[in-house]
Amino acid sequence: MQKISGRALWMGALVWAGALAGCVVPVQQASCDADHPCPTGQACDTAIQLCYLAGDSSDGGAKATDGGVDPGPPVILTETLKTARPNEEYLEKVTVDGGVAPLVFALSSKPTELSWLSVDPATGALSGTVSSTRGDYPFTVQVRESADGGRSASKQLTLHVIDCTAGETSTCTASTATACIVGARSCQDGGFGPCENTAVSTDVNHCGSSCGSCGPSALSCVNGACACGSGLACSGGKATCCPSGNSAACTDLQTDVSSCGSCGHACLQGSRANTTPTCAAGACAYPCTAQHADCNNSLDTDGCEVDLQNDANNCSACNNKCPAPTGGSAVCNAGACGQTCPSNLALCPGSGGASNACLDTQTDKNNCGSCGNVCPTSVSNASAVSCTGGACTATCLAGRGDCDGKISTGCETNTMTDDNNCGACGHACNVAAGEGCSDGQCVPCGQCGLTKKCCTSCDSSFTPPRCL
């Protein structure tokens, strides 16, 4: 059965008295709650779940009716508070009956353990984040009418802070010098009891002499101690325990290419040609192998695509392009630039800033026989000079010959009269038999003094006379 407050009885008496006196008052007080509103013109008193005249005002259960009817002094109805748990948010409302609104709430006599608890001065709502430990903490709630000389009320309440509720259990731990022991505690009178049903821990989150988490150094808890594979927990440089097949192994995540930065994150070469995968400071890197370079800045696509020892466009370094000679090709050998020409041409150096060129030294008058060997533009007794077969050659005038083979002397021989080069270089007349060169032909000599003679003087000691 619902408890009817003194306020409700007072309201009932007022209804009856009003009826006898012929006053205009409600003839019936309807019940109400959040799902059942009051009739038009009335409001709901949530504390006693009864309707009252809409002309009244309400706050925390206090009312002031039309016509100035006194609702009586405020009375705190709350007897007990719901329990609180450490580190949880707390919210509870103090219920008040009577008093002329608006009412003002306050707390007093709070122990330091309840420094976190506050009250809303307008609504009486108690709230805060519980920082108290388990225990019972009394304090005083005050409420007063806000008008000058307003009436007030106070009540001592006790807040019960508990760690647990009946039937609740909690894991408990105890440690030895090398292992962690775990058990369970049951809730007794709002607090956990002794640790019971203990056993050596197999939980990596409660393991080792500290009964704490093993962290990255272990993947299992064996006999209460952190373990990695078949060994102890990892330490030193290889401080992380990573899965390895059906077991586990201690790994240095800063340098291990199979677990770089995290377990199982392998640095794979993939499409990165001519690279050597490495792990540095926990990040994969792909340095180029010797003599290779990533000249197109697309390491992940084609790796170190250039051979610096043999690429004429990137010789010894990216973008170091070897110059090509005119008529030939650029080459890179062992990281050094070079030039090459077709087999019938010779590589000749340029002059005056000109580039090198591939030239035919068999026919080039400026590079005849060898680079830089320039044939003379003209020689004596010649109509022209050319380069033939790699040698400077003169085109001699009629009756002249270059019989000494020296371009510098020109066509020094008169082949019309020279007995040793008669008609052509090297064609000698048989002078001993009396022949001589006449008009480029070897002919027998006549006697001295004759019209057809082959010499300018004769030696008469010979028969016939011999030309001198």
Residue 1 has pLDDT above 80, yes or no: no
pLDDT the model gives residue 441 = 86
Interval 296-301 mean pLDDT: 94
pLDDT the model gives residue 459 = 67
Mean pLDDT of the chain: 85
Express as a percent the part of the chain with pLDDT over 90.
Answer: 63
Rounded CA gap, 426 and 411, in Å? 14
Where along the chain do its domains lie?
1-54, 169-251, 359-414, 431-467
pLDDT the model gives residue 352 = 64
Rounded CA gap, 230 and 218, in Å? 11
Asked if 168 and 136 touch (Cβ cutoff 8 Å), the reply is no
Q: Tell me the per-residue pLDDT of 230-266, one tens digit each, with 9 for 90 and over.
A: 999 999 989 999 998 889 999 999 999 999 999 999 9
Backbone angles phi and psi of 383, in degrees to 5: -90, -20
pLDDT the model gives residue 447 = 47
Residue 293's CB is within 10 A of a number of other CB atoms, namely 19
| List of long-range contacts for 224-232, beta carbons under 8 Å, 24+ apart | 224/176, 224/178, 224/179, 224/180, 224/181, 224/200, 225/178, 225/179, 225/180
* pLDDT-based confidence at residue 379 (cuts at 50, 70, 90): very high
pLDDT the model gives residue 63 = 43
Rounded CA gap, 90 and 111, in Å? 17
pLDDT the model gives residue 430 = 85
How many secondary structure helices (H) and strands (E) does the chain include? 2, 37
The single-letter DSSP state of residue 437 is E
* pLDDT-based confidence at residue 163 (cuts at 50, 70, 90): very high
Express as a percent the part of the chain with pLDDT over 70.
Answer: 82
Query: Shortest CA distance to 282 belongs to which of 307, 301, 255?
Result: 255
Kind of pairing between the strands at 240-244 and 191-192 = unpaired
Asked if 253 and 259 touch (Cβ cutoff 8 Å), the reply is yes
E-strand stretches of 166-224: 169-175, 180-188, 191-192, 196-200, 220-222
Residue 115's CB is within 10 A of a number of other CB atoms, namely 11
Residue 379's CB is within 10 A of a number of other CB atoms, namely 22
Interval 398-419 mean pLDDT: 92
Q: Tell me the per-residue pLDDT of 86-111, one tens digit each, with 9 for 90 and over.
A: 999 999 999 999 999 999 999 999 99
Q: Tell me the per-residue pLDDT of 323-345, one tens digit each, with 9 for 90 and over.
A: 999 999 999 999 999 999 999 99
Side-chain-side CA neighbours of 394 within 13 Å: the count stands at: 25
Q: Tell me the per-residue pLDDT of 10-65, one tens digit each, with 9 for 90 and over.
A: 444 444 344 343 333 333 456 777 777 777 656 666 666 666 654 444 344 334 44
pLDDT the model gives residue 70 = 83
Interval 146-152 mean pLDDT: 90
Backbone angles phi and psi of 216, in degrees to 5: -75, -5
